[in-house]
């Protein structure tokens, strides 16, 4: 077996940059399949609907087995983000320009989910009474 060529620490450097967002909620988080160590993970996200100051974003994670090239959906989730100005005030989000029938359908579904989500939020806060010491908020 040939000796592997040396690698410098600099070559191993990995940088991940993430913008901090204000997530209001996350739902429908599903893990469809496991990801194995060494597989390639790709995360895709799209705004599905823009409301007033909030928007629903759909996220799909796929993984690829680098030895076979086989890909599969491993995770999906729906997140609601709220837009904020630099000084922290909630601001309107730009409307979505829908360009396909699939986008229009996704938009309608997102609106229906928003109604359910906000109703569920107000209906399911009762259990918090079990934690009176954390009752504020
Ligand atoms: C999310 C947050 C900005 C909402 O602020 P708020 O003043 O309570 O919100 P409001 O009731 O005025 O609602 C603002 C918008 O968020 C939406 N919203 C609020 N709570 C929500 C929830 N649980 N799920 C979905 N949407 C929600 C409202 O529908 C509204 O949308 P619209 O303007 O498009 O109609 C505030 O609760 C917050 O800062 N939370 C902490 C967020 C955080 O730290 N996230 C990090 C997670 S890792």
Q: How far apart are CA 55 and CA 85, in angstroms?
A: 15
pLDDT at 83: 95
What the block records as the tokens of 56 is 């629903």
From 28, 29, 52, 54, give the residue whose CB has the most ligand 1 atoms within 8 Å, as the site to mutate. 54
- Check if the beta carbon of residue 124 is closer than 8 Å to that of residue 25: no
- Range with the lowest mean pLDDT among 24-33, 36-45, 124-133? 124-133
What is the pTM assigned to this prediction? 0.87
State the distance from the centre of ligand 1 to the C-alpha of 12, rounded, in angstroms. 39
pLDDT at 110: 98
pLDDT at 136: 59
Check if CATH label 3.10.129.10 holds for domain 19-121: yes
How many Cα atoms occupy the beta-carbon half-sphere of 68 within 13 Å? 6
pLDDT at 135: 62
Residue 133 has pLDDT above 90, yes or no: no
State the distance from the centre of ligand 1 to the C-alpha of 81, rounded, in angstroms. 7
* 3-17, 104-118, 121-135: which is most confident: 104-118
Instruction: Please state, for a pLDDT cut of 90, what percent of the chain lies above it.
Output: 75
What the block records as the tokens of 66 is 């680098």
What the block records as the tokens of 102 is 């699939």
- Range with the lowest mean pLDDT among 5-9, 35-39, 54-58, 97-101? 5-9
Query: Could you identify the residue written with the tokens 């996220």?
Result: 59
For residue 101, count CB atoms less than 10 angstroms from its CB and return exposed for 0-12, middle for 13-18, buried for 19 or more: exposed
**Chain mean pLDDT for the chain:** 92
Closest C-alpha among 79, 83, 82, 84 to residue 48: 79
State the distance from the centre of ligand 1 to the C-alpha of 16, rounded, in angstroms. 27
82 vs 20 pLDDT, higher one:
82
Closest C-alpha among 90, 10, 86, 23 to residue 59: 23
Residue 137 has pLDDT above 60, yes or no: no
Residue 134 has pLDDT above 90, yes or no: no
Nearest CA to ligand 1 atom 18: 24
What the block records as the tokens of 39 is 């597989």
Q: How far apart are CA 97 and CA 47, in angstroms?
A: 11
- Check if the beta carbon of residue 107 is closer than 8 Å to that of residue 98: yes
Residues within a 6 A CB radius of ligand 1: 22-25, 51-54, 80, 82, 90, 117-118, 121
């Amino acid at each position: 077996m040939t000796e592997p060529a040396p690698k410098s620490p600099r070559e191993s450097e990995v940088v991940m940059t993430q913008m901090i967002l204000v997530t209001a909620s996350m739902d429908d988080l599903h893990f469809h399949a496991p990801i194995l160590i060494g597989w390639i993970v790709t995360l895709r996200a799209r705004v599905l609907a823009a409301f007033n100051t909030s928007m629903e974003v759909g996220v799909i994670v796929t993984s690829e087995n680098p030895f076979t090239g086989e890909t599969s959906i491993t995770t999906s989730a729906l997140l609601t983000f709220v837009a904020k100005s630099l000084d922290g005030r909630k601001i309107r989000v730009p409307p979505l320009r829908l360009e396909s029938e699939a986008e229009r359908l996704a938009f309608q579904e997102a609106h229906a989910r928003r109604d359910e989500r906000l109703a569920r939020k107000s209906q399911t806060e009762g259990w918090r009474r079990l934690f009176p010491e954390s009752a504020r908020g």
